[in-house]
Every structure is written in C-alpha cells, then in structure tokens.
Amino acid sequence: MTIKLHNTATRRKEDFVPLDKDDVRMYVCGPTVYDRAHLGNARPVIVFDTLYRLLRHTYGEDHVTYVRNFTDVDDKINARAAESGRSIGEITAETTQWYLDDMAAVGALQPSIKGTDHERAMPRATQWIAPMIAMIEDLIAKGHAYEAEGHALFAVESYKNYGALSGRSVDDMIAGARVEVAPYKRNPMDFVLWKPSTDDQPGWDSPWGRGRPGWHIECSAMAYELLGAQFDIHGGGNDLQFPHHENEIAQSKCAGHRFANYWLHNEMLQVEGKKMSKSLGNFFTVRDLLDQGVPGEVIRFVMLGTHYRKPMDWTDAKRQEAEKTLRKWYGQVGDVNIGGVPSAVIAAVSDDLNTSGAIAELHKLSSSGDVAGLKAGMGFLGFLDMQTRLDAAGDDVDLSAYVEHFDAIRAEAMETKDFGPLDALKKQLTDAGVEVKMSKEGVSLTPAVGFDAEKLQGLL
C-alpha cells in the first residue's frame, strides 16, 4: 500500500519513496529538557510515533531508523540551574527521564536505530559537540559562516534558497521576526552557530574560544552523524519551520548535505478553543493530566482524533467521549486473540496520517463485532502499549440508588436555595470517579476513569 505524505517543502501530498527500503530514516526535533513537557509538546511525539508505527508495519521493524534528539545545552537550562541552585547535569538528567516517562504514558515507542538501538537514537546534544565544531569549521572554510567576537555565525546571504521551506523572503523575515540585533552580525538574519561561554556556563574548547553551540547546528550535525548526508523524513511542529528548520536546511545544504527529502509539520494545540498559555490559566503539562487520573490512552485518542495538519483543540467533552469509547473497546477486545490489522485502518493512516479516519474505521469494527480486527487496529494506533487501561468493569455498576439520592438532594436545594449539600454530594461522587451530568430531565451518573466503589460508601 502506497504511503502518501504532505511535504512542506513542495506544499503537496506526495507518494513516499524511501531512499533505501531496507533502511528508512526519519529525524524529529526533540525537547529542550529543563521542565515538564506541556500538552502541546506531546502532539508531535504522538503524530510521529504514528508515522513510525506505519513505517515499521510497511518496511519491517529492523528496517526503520527514527532519531529524536534532546537539547541539553540551552540558556533556559542555564537559567533554571541558576534559579534552583542545582547542577545543569542534574536538571537535564531528571527532566529527560520525566519526558521519557510521560511520552511512554501516552503510548509513544522509543525511537530506535533499526529497531534495536534506543540510546543512540535519542542523542543528547552535549554528546555530539565535536561533530558540531567540525561542521562549523567546514562552513567557515566554504565561505558560508564567519567568526566575530568569539562567535561563529552563518551568513544567510550565502545561501540563495534561504526561506524556501517557510515561503518567506529574507526581507519579510527581517520585518516580521524577532532577530537578535548585534554589532558583530553582517546581516541581522545571520544566526549563531557558536557563542562564547562565561565561567559559570557550560562550555567546550573550540577554534573560536571556549563556548557552546547554537540551537540549530546541533540537529544538522546529529542528523548527519546518525542518518547520513541524505535521509528520508524530517519532522516537527510547524512552529519550528522558521527559524529552526529553515536554518537547519541552510547550514546542512551549504555543508554539502542533501539533507531530508520529505518535511512534515504538525499544527499547534489549543485548549477549549484558545491558545494554551499560563496567562489564560489553561496551561498544563502531560503529567498534570496523568496525575488528575486522565489515562495516557485518552490523551492519545483525543490527539489522534484530529488530522495532524489541523489545529488540535483539547476539550473536556473530547476527553469524556474518548474515555467512554476506549472503555467500551477495551471491554470488547478483552482476551481476544489479535487479528491482522484491517486494510481500511492501514489505508487511512497511509493517506497522510489520516488518524481520524482510522479511528472512524475502529468504530465500524466495534459496531460490526469484529473484535479481532478492532484489537489489531487499536494495537496499530498504539492503544495497547500503555500500562494503564480504562476499567470496563465500571459499566456494570448499578448507581440507581445514588441517582435517586442525588435527585432528592437536588429537589431540596431548588426549594431552599441552599446548594451547599448538593455541591458537596457532587464533589464526593466526582472524587469517587463518577461522572455527574445534570439536565432538566434529571441527573446521569456514570463510572468514569479512576472509579472507586469504596469511596461511595456512606453517601446514602
């Protein structure tokens, strides 16, 4: 079955033809490890994990290499160390493990080189400083970069196709982007490849003095070392198109590398129709949701319910519907032997990662009673890989007595206008994992994620 992918570089959907079907290679930009991953950080992980699963299914687990880096040298990390008094190494080690744990909780497979080498497939920038220095030296020797006041900078004007990925001219970028104005730059758009470090900052010896790499050079150097001068797919969020991916392309192409053939970018995430931000009070991490009792499979289901090239809106209604659907499906598949992945599910994902279409196919399998196919399809989309499971047993709980009790307390509250007892009862039910829905017709009580029957004792 032909895989079709929307290539950002050409702005059209194309048949995916790997350079070598025995060694399909993909690079995805990973996190800067200084804090917990927020919900938006999980979207590219889940998107490209789905593509990784598709490639493994199509070409074989041992014939796919997926590299995703960790940026563990960055000014945000330095600032966090200064604020906390902890060492940079301690912070990056802890936050890297947080990231791995949280992404595993949403069903993401660990990147690997041909299905086996996970550690090398998740390179830390600090482990690849020498190749970065070598690449910068090569760019300077070729006239594409220059040294100035302890910095090494890429000369944007030396690459005539700069801006092709994002579709912007250099003049437009200068006008619309926040660029660092510095006297040592020949052009405001020139970007840092290497910068000097103070005594209290991490640094390495280089031809330009003790310093540390800029953000963009690390991905180019690590991709070259691990995937070669040309590879198949480069992915990330669309917020990385400019400047990060634009700069990666410029420095890699000028170093003589053909770099990536296909570029994929996922759209951003919203919460209840608004951009997620701390100022709006709708900012939360993956761990926040997990600690609140939202299972990783629910997060994954909501994410995959929207096509990756469309903005994804996280809503409580979607979360509840995902919980209900997955509880039903887990109850259906139980100990059933897994079947072959239905062709309709594969076809949907092969069509530019149409995961919402694939989920629609799972609904059909559920309705038709094809539980073996349903289980295989769920496994293909990653819903069988998480340690948590929605408890289908709660569906058999009789809550009718609690409904009657709730209705009585509600009627009394409507008459006395004292809603304190009603609110208290609702909170007790919610704390027990019961979903409470009120309407003009009455109340509906449904066992939800984290349902604990013992917590209902004493409520009647």
Residue 131 CA to residue 192 CA, distance in Å, equals 16
What share of residues in the chain are helix, strand, coil (percent, to 5)? 50, 20, 35
Query: Where does the pLDDT of residue 395 fall: very low under 50, low under 70, confident under 90, or very high at 90 and above?
Result: low
Backbone angles phi, psi at 372, to 5 degrees: -65, -45
Contacts of 103 by beta carbon, 8 Å cutoff, 6+ apart: 37, 42, 45, 286
The pLDDT assigned to 142 comes to: 98
86 close to 94: Cβ distance less than 8 angstroms = no
The pLDDT assigned to 391 comes to: 57
Helix runs in 305-399, H state only: 316-333, 343-350, 355-368, 371-380
- Reported as a single tens digit per residue, the pLDDT across 227-236 is 999 999 999 9
Is the pLDDT higher at 328 or at 53?
53
Domain spanning 4-266: which superfamily? HUPs (3.40.50.620)
Helix runs in 381-419, H state only: 400-416
394 close to 327: Cβ distance less than 8 angstroms = yes
Residue 339 CA to residue 259 CA, distance in Å, equals 39
Which residue in 242, 252, 219, 238 sits closest to 169, CA to CA?
Answer: 242
Is 60 exceeded by the pLDDT of residue 175?
A: no
Q: What is the pTM of this model?
A: 0.85
Q: Measured in Å, how far apart are the chain's first and last C-alpha atoms?
A: 58
Query: Where does the pLDDT of residue 393 fall: very low under 50, low under 70, confident under 90, or very high at 90 and above?
Result: very low
Average pLDDT score over the chain: 92
Q: Is 427 helix (H, G, I), strand (E, B) or coil?
A: helix
- Domain segments of the chain: what residues? 4-266, 277-390, 393-456
- Reported as a single tens digit per residue, the pLDDT across 95-152 is 999 999 999 999 999 999 987 889 999 999 999 999 999 999 999 999 999 999 999 9
The pLDDT assigned to 182 comes to: 82
Give the highest mean pLDDT range of 102-116, 247-261, 404-418: 247-261
Which two tokens mark 229? 């001068």
The pLDDT assigned to 59 comes to: 97
Of the listed ranges 156-170, 258-272, 301-315, the least confidently predicted one is 156-170
Contacts of 437 by beta carbon, 8 Å cutoff, 6+ apart: 443, 444, 445, 446
Residue 200 CA to residue 91 CA, distance in Å, equals 16
Contacts of 10 by beta carbon, 8 Å cutoff, 6+ apart: none
